[in-house]
Chains A and B, each alone.
Chain A
Amino acid sequence: MLVTWKYRPRNTFIQRLDPRTRWIFLFSIILALTIPEIWDYRIVFPLFVLSLTLFFMARIEWKDVRRAFIYIFILVFFIVGLNALFFGRGGPSSVLDPSSPVLFFGVTVSKAWFAITQVTRMLTMALLAIPIPYTMDPNIYGTAFKRMGVSDKVSFTIDLAFRFLPTFARDLTITVDAQRARGYEVEKLKGGLVARIQRLAPLIIPVVMQSTVTGEEVIDAMDLRAFGTAPRSWLKELRYAARDYFMIALGVAIFITCCVLKWGFGIGGFFVPEFFTRLVT
């Protein structure tokens, strides 16, 4: 059993970006869509195309992200999409327009368009979030958070957690092997749900208890080196390049534009475009 990060170095524009730029851009898009409550397809669809373009620019192979996309699609299409289609809830009240033509089983043109918009809106955000583990070096998370203003201790906790990961994954492997040698069949957890969860205890308890002992040794080592008594220095340096300024400016501009359009000009709310009504009726 090998715990491996999904991350692989690739010579792409996305990976050349500073990790802080990636976080700032992701949050800019999320905030641009959510704070001014944008439902207008003329804004949502271009942002979806932008997210899709950035996703393809990351050059992640389909076999790597297939699982993630299946999970996202089930959630977005079946739980959210169908709910929007049949009930039209979650969006602005204009979705439930009683004058909207009925297509089938109480599904109106308005609800159908809302479902399409909502699924697109959610995928726009997911397409920016999914590539992060595949394209951002796990060794740089702590530094990135520190450089974004998070405290030394919290940043170091992030850094340390990533460092502990291989150790605990190895401990889990050893525990699984040791239990197998005693006749424990990991692949054949029999019985009801409660029994099956209980039977995971022989795998979980030894690893957790060993980790608490390891923790005391690490605390002693860190205290002996006077951890926390002065600001830390960080080995990895992060520097913004021109491309980072461009992406940050783009993200911030999108956010400001969405706010101005919605609050200044009343553009960005939900409406059903004429072509869609003609298409489906």
Chain B
Amino acid sequence: MNDKSTWEFGTRQVVYGAIGAALYGVFSWATNILFPLPAAGNVTFRPAVAVLIFFAVAYGPWVGLLAGFIGNMIGDGLSGWGFYWNWSLGNGLMGMIPGLIVATISDFRARSTILKAVGWGTLGIIVGMLFASLTEMFVGGIDLNTALVGYFTPAFLGNLVVTVILLPILMIAFAGVAARRGR
């Protein structure tokens, strides 16, 4: 998992990090403003998260980290919500963790690969959203209960639902594109 190709940071990672960030920003904005999905309580569903995890799985942890961090900054900027460093970093971690399996993936269509991607994506969501929620304890002075119930749980549930539904579709579609492109 820690071989050279996993942590390589070259032109490919720069470009796909930027593309992932721009897409994350555009889709976050689109589902915030253009076609909002239903929300239960303060649980919001952001399909952009599935795109972020897909980029991480396909292109590695640096791409996931940068796409999540910059993409969250762009999405919040487009929606006019300001800049919150801990949530941007949390989104970056949410992208970085599933990127750790990049070197182990050969067939994006295989059921085992898809399950592995969803599993690592879930782990990424837990780590990323937990980081953002728990740092709110220091930044905002909230207690652990509010951090877990008011912040983490809604963010985790919303992101998990879109990942489970959309990530497999993205991976299968990508398998076709990658096969045609030949690299």
User: Which residues of A are in contact with B by a Cβ distance under 8 Å?
Assistant: 1, 3, 5-6, 26-27, 30, 34, 37, 39, 64-65, 67-68, 71-72, 74-75, 79-80, 83, 87, 89-91, 118, 121-122, 125-126, 129-134, 138, 153-154, 156-165, 167-169, 172, 186-187, 189, 193-194, 196-198, 200-201, 204-205, 207-209, 211-216, 218-219, 222-223, 227-228
List chain A residues, Cβ under 8 A from B57.
none
Contact of B22 among A1, A5, A71, A168 (CB under 8 A): A168
**Is B110 interfacial (CB-CB < 8 Å)?**
no
For the complex, what is the distance from the CA of A222 to the CA of B18, rounded to whole Å?
13
Which of B13, B42, B47 lies in contact with A197, CB distance below 8 A? Answer: B47
Contacts of A26 in B (CB 8 A): 83
Name A208's contact: one of B10, B23, B137 (CB within 8 Å): B23
User: Are B139 and A30 in contact (CB-based, < 8 A)?
Assistant: yes
Q: Is the interface of B mostly helix, strand, loop or mixed?
A: helix
Chain B residues proximal to chain A, CB less than 8 Å: 9-19, 21-23, 25-27, 29-31, 34-35, 37-38, 42, 45, 47, 50-51, 54, 58, 66, 70-71, 74, 76-85, 137-146, 150-151, 161-162, 165-166, 169-170, 173-174, 177, 181, 183
24 contacts between A and B (CB under 8 A): A5-B77, A68-B81, A83-B143, A83-B146, A89-B142, A89-B143, A89-B145, A121-B141, A125-B140, A132-B82, A138-B77, A153-B14, A157-B21, A164-B21, A186-B35, A193-B38, A196-B37, A197-B37, A200-B37, A201-B169, A204-B166, A208-B174, A222-B14, A228-B14
Q: CA–CA, A163 to B173, complex, Å?
A: 26
8 A-B pairs closest in CB distance: A89-B143, A160-B18, A90-B143, A129-B82, A133-B77, A164-B22, A161-B21, A130-B82
**A205 to B80, alpha carbons, bound, how many Å?**
26
Residues of B within 8 A of A71 (CB): 81
- In the assembled complex, how far is the CB of residue A181 from the closest CB belonging to chain B, in whole angstroms? 17
Q: Is the CB of B18 within 8 A of A157?
A: yes
Residues of A within 8 A of B31 (CB): 200
Q: Which of A6, A133, A216 has the most CB of B within 10 A?
A: A133
Complex CA distance for A215 and B14, rounded to whole angstroms = 10
Considering the chains assembled together, what is the distance between the CA atoms of A26 and B145 in angstroms? 27
Given contact pairs A133-B78, A200-B35, a sample of 15 additional A-B residue pairs in the complex whose CB atoms are under 8 Å apart = A3-B29, A30-B139, A79-B151, A80-B142, A83-B142, A130-B81, A156-B14, A157-B17, A160-B15, A161-B71, A162-B74, A164-B18, A197-B45, A209-B174, A219-B15
Determine if B177 and A122 form an interchain contact, defined as CB atoms under 8 angstroms apart: no
> Given A201-B169, A208-B51, A213-B177 in contact, is the A168-B140 Cβ separation under 8 Å?
no
Min CB–CB distance B65 → chain A (angstroms): 10
B14–A79 touching, CB < 8 Å: no
Contacts of B79 in A (CB 8 A): 67-68
- In the complex the two chains form, is A157's CB within 8 Å of B14's CB? yes
Number of A-B residue pairs having CB atoms within 8 Å of each other in the complex: 214
Instruction: Determine which of A80, A168, A189, A204 lies in contact with B146 in the assembled complex, contact meaning CB atoms within 8 Å.
Output: A80
Q: Give the Cβ gap from A182 to chain B, nearest Cβ, in Å.
A: 17
Determine the distance from Cα of A68 to Cα of B161 in the docked complex, in whole angstroms: 25
State the CA gap A228–B37 with chains docked (Å).
Answer: 41
The answer to whether residues A39 and B141 also contact, given A193-B45, A209-B177 and a CB cut-off of 8 A, is yes
A198 partner residues in chain B, CB cutoff 8 A = 165-166, 169
| B171 smallest CB distance to A (angstroms) | 11
Which residues of chain A are near B142, meaning CB under 8 Å?
Answer: 80, 83, 89-90, 118
For B42, list chain A residues within 8 Å (CB).
74-75, 79
- B148 → chain A, closest Cβ, in Å? 12
Q: How far is the CA of A77 from the CA of B31 in the complex (A)?
A: 25
A201 with B77: CB separation less than 8 A? no
A168 engages B21 (CB within 8 Å): no
Contact A161:B80 (CB < 8 A) given known A30-B139, A208-B23: no
- Which of A91, A126, A156, A197 has most B Cβ within 10 Å? A197
Using Cβ atoms and an 8 Å threshold, which residues of chain A touch B10? 228
Cα(A129)–Cα(B58), bound, Å: 33
CA A172 to CA B173, docked complex, whole Å: 17
B23, B54, B66, B78: which contacts A3 (Cβ < 8 A)? B78
Say yes or no: A216 contacts B181, CB within 8 Å. Answer: yes
